[in-house]
Amino acid sequence: MHITKPNSSMSANSIAIQNMAFNPTTLTVPVGTTVTWKNLDNVTHHVVSDTGAFESSDLTNGQTFNFTFNKAGNYPYHCSIHPSMTGTIVVTSTGSGTSNQSTQNSSNKSNKSTSSNTSGKVKNITG
Ligand SMILES: [Cu+2]
């Protein structure tokens, strides 16, 4: 478990749970971003990933839930208490100029199977 650093400045990577909806519904963040959900409703909400990538506890009014996305991809989620509440976190890989091209040269087909036939003679020495 990571201990999230206290961030005094309010980041844009937060989702308000308000009026029985996630706001914004879709949030796009670079990989490594910690996303914060905050329940502004007077009812309890429970954020859970569709794929099981993350899950909050029951969030009552004013409570928050943090999750750090360390892998790029789409993370659809919903509220387990109110299944009609859905949202998606889109995590983009940080393209820092370096395009990662992996060129594989697998044209090496020199597979000689050398079967050496050694007939072992067992000498039976008696005496
Ligand atoms: Cu809910």
Residues that place a CB less than 5 A from ion ligand 1 = 45, 79, 81-82, 85
Structure tokens at 85: 């509440």
Contact 29, 19 (CB under 8 A): no
Structure tokens at 14: 């937060």
Tell me the per-residue pLDDT of 64-97, one tens digit each, with 9 for 90 and over: 999 999 999 999 999 999 999 999 999 999 765 4
Residues in the chain: 127
CA diameter of the chain: 99
Contact 31, 92 (CB under 8 A): yes
Q: What is the pLDDT of residue 95?
A: 63
Q: Residue 71 carries which side chain, given as an amino acid letter? A: K
Q: How far is the CA of 46 from the centre of ligand 1 (A)?
A: 6
β-strands 47-49, 86-92 pairing: unpaired
Q: How far is the CA of 93 from the centre of ligand 1 (A)?
A: 29
Q: What CATH number matches the domain at 14-96, 2.60.40.420, 2.40.160.60, 1.10.3720.10, 2.40.128.20?
A: 2.60.40.420
Q: What is the pLDDT of residue 94?
A: 79
Instruction: Give the span between the Cα atoms of 56 and 65, in whole angstroms.
Output: 6
Q: Where are the domains of the chain?
A: 14-96
Q: How far is the CA of 99 from the centre of ligand 1 (A)?
A: 41
Q: How far is the CA of 80 from the centre of ligand 1 (A)?
A: 7
Instruction: Give the span between the Cα atoms of 23 and 16, in whole angstroms.
Output: 5
Percent of the chain with pLDDT over 90: 64
Q: What is the pLDDT of residue 98?
A: 43
Q: How far is the CA of 108 from the centre of ligand 1 (A)?
A: 57
Instruction: Give the span between the Cα atoms of 91 and 39, in whole angstroms.
Output: 22
